Amino acid sequence: MNRINCWEFMKCGREPNGLNADKLGICPVTQFNKFNSINNGKYAGRFCWTIAGTFCDGVPSGTYSEKFSNCLKCSFLIKVNEEESRNFILTPDKKAVDL
């Protein structure tokens, strides 16, 4: 199964060389190597709900703890959960990382 990352699903254009990267900045999810391959994503691309500094629906998000309840309703998180099934990882093993 072909797994897509959040920036591809959301079409935000905040990936390196993306359409909105110059205007809005590069999303930290696209370069956060510590979570590379979690939920079969690139960098934190399928674990984005744990990273501060994302834009959700065009609005800057807060810290992991501030945004988490909203993320639980996100269609992308729900998609990743369905695709990964029993292997789905919702939260980091250690203290959440807030950039």
Delimit the domains of the chain by residue range: 6-87
pLDDT score for 42: 96
pTM: 0.87
CA distances from 68 to 22, 38, 46 (A): 27, 17, 14
Q: Is 33 helix (H, G, I), strand (E, B) or coil?
A: helix
Query: Which of 40-49, 51-60, 76-85 is least confident?
Result: 51-60
Query: Considering only CA atoms, which of 30, 43, 44 is closest in space to residue 91?
Result: 44
User: What rounded mean pLDDT belongs to the chain?
Assistant: 90
For the segment 46-73, what is each residue's pLDDT rounded down to a tens digit? 999 999 989 887 778 888 888 988 899 9
What are the backbone angles phi and psi of residue 94, rounded to the nearest 5°? -105, -175
For residue 87, the Cα-to-chain-centroid distance in whole angstroms is 17
